[in-house]
């Protein structure tokens, strides 16, 4: 016996699977890149500031201590320096305490220096 078609279903599902606002469809790659430019400039700007601080720290720290710096980034108005182990983090913290006036002078928007551990892979 054939199934009787349901009269309340008229070809569309009662609940849509996608929720939220739809963005306008992009017609070309140029349109997609135009939307992403602010995000890309923030990323490249943060990377260039990180390179600046890594070079600055390489010039002002001893060679032995500089080898154990994994990276540097500006976060929430403070310079965050990453060391590859907890032992080197403690040594780096003492060295950066002496350099803090120079760091704050080099970065006008900074108000402090923090040291974090980031093990290398």
pTM, to two decimals: 0.67
In this structure, is residue 14 part of a structural domain? no
Q: Residue 21's pLDDT band (boundaries 50, 70, 90)?
A: low
For residue range 32-85, list pLDDT tens digits in order: 777 767 777 888 888 999 999 999 999 999 999 999 999 999 999 999 999 999
Q: How many CB atoms lie within 10 A of CB 79?
A: 25
Q: To 5 degrees, how large is the angle CA 46–CA 69–CA 107?
A: 45
Q: What is the 8-class DSSP label of residue 108?
A: T
* Higher per-residue confidence, 90 vs 35: 90
Q: Which domain holds residue 51?
A: 30-117
- Report the alpha-carbon distance of residue 71 to residue 47 in Å, rounded: 10
- Count the domains in the chain: 1
In this structure, is residue 38 part of a structural domain? yes
In this structure, is residue 9 part of a structural domain? no
In this structure, is residue 2 part of a structural domain? no
In this structure, is residue 16 part of a structural domain? no
3-state percent breakdown (helix, strand, coil) of the chain, nearest 5: 45, 15, 35
Q: Residue 29's pLDDT band (boundaries 50, 70, 90)?
A: confident
E strand segments, the chain: 69-75, 78-83, 112-117
């Amino acid at each position: 016996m054939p199934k009787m078609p349901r009269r309340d279903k008229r070809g569309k599902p009662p609940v849509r699977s996608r929720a939220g606002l739809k963005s306008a469809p992009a017609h070309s790659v140029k349109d997609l890149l135009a939307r992403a430019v602010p995000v890309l400039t923030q990323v490249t700007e943060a990377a260039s500031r990180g390179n600046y601080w890594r070079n600055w720290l390489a010039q002002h720290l001893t060679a032995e201590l500089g080898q154990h710096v994994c990276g540097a980034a500006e976060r929430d108005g403070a310079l965050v320096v990453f060391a590859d182990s907890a032992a080197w983090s403690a040594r780096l913290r003492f060295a950066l305490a002496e350099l803090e006036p120079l760091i704050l002078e080099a970065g006008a928007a900074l108000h402090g220096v923090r040291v974090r551990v980031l093990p290398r892979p």
